[in-house]
Amino acid sequence: MMSHDPLTPVLTYRPQVDTPMLALPEGTCDSHVHVFGPASEFPYAQARSFTPVDAGKETLFALHRKLGISRCVIVQSACHGFDNSVVEDAIRAGGGNYLGIALVPKTVSDAELRRLADAGFRGIRFNFMKHLAASASVEEVVALTPRLADVGMHLQVHFESSLVHSLGAPLRNSAVPVVIDHMGRVNAELGPEHPDFSALADLMRHDNFYVKVSGIDRIDPHPPYGKGIALARRLLEVAPERCLWGTDWPHPNHTHVPDDAQLVDSLSAIAADARALQALLVDNPARLYRFPAVAHP
């Protein structure tokens, strides 16, 4: 993670993006992005660990047009705290093709969960990361899941790789599907036999777990991210029907700013064939997030 003053704006994306060489299938979903600001309209939370350069919805929409992406799931960022209005605004502007994941306190009311669900939020995210203050214990999070089930939401979790060993067992008691962010933040340089990755792969053998094979550039900081690609490919072999993909634009709290076109082109190496690519980018997110089905070519 970059070291910086949390009040100093940090550039988190490349203003110019090349067109990928890979032509994505119709209905491709970027299942993990954020939107930041503009701060004049959507102020950042006072208690935040970083301040990004504004990266609003119009910039995101333009990026997706360039990359050939037509669907998206926007994840509320901790820099905006529990005020999910920046994501809600982007969902409204997305014409049904953009949905959201919210951040809420453990004391969230049933009425607020219902309001968020009606506004296009499909899940609630909880962080277990050192640079992001945890808002609830895993036991409290699991206790919330029957209420998520009542409004048709799932649980999304973001954790340090070493925590997979302690979080896995309680998360198996979730009343709703559990989506694991960024391949559990494993260290790809330690390889597929490392205990953290092995535990993640074991979790993915349980039908209630999904994993985002986003973040090849986070778990492997060296372009073209060959070691990250290898682990993503392994997860697709374990659970091809429960893997999701996302750019993680605009790449907050990162060691470097990756090239989004390169991340798209890496999908050619992650997915074994056109059928696997269709499942990863179209069918799996359509089923989990409840986008309309897209006819197979």
Which are the catalytic amino acids? 248
Alpha helices, DSSP H, located in the chain: 57-67, 85-93, 110-118, 138-150, 164-171, 195-203, 216-219, 226-238, 260-265, 267-270, 274-278, 284-289
Q: Which residues pair with 90 in a beta bridge?
A: none
Q: Which residues pair with 178 in a beta bridge?
A: 155, 209
DSSP H helix total and E strand total for the chain:
12, 10
Distance, in Å, from the CA atom of 247 to the CA atom of 263, rounded to the nearest integer, reads: 7
Answer for the pair 36, 54: CB distance below 8 angstroms, yes or no.
yes
Distance, in Å, from the CA atom of 49 to the CA atom of 4, rounded to the nearest integer, reads: 9
CA dihedral over 182, 158, 34, 147, signed as positive or negative: positive
Q: What does residue 147 show for φ and ψ, rounded to 5 degrees?
A: -70, -35
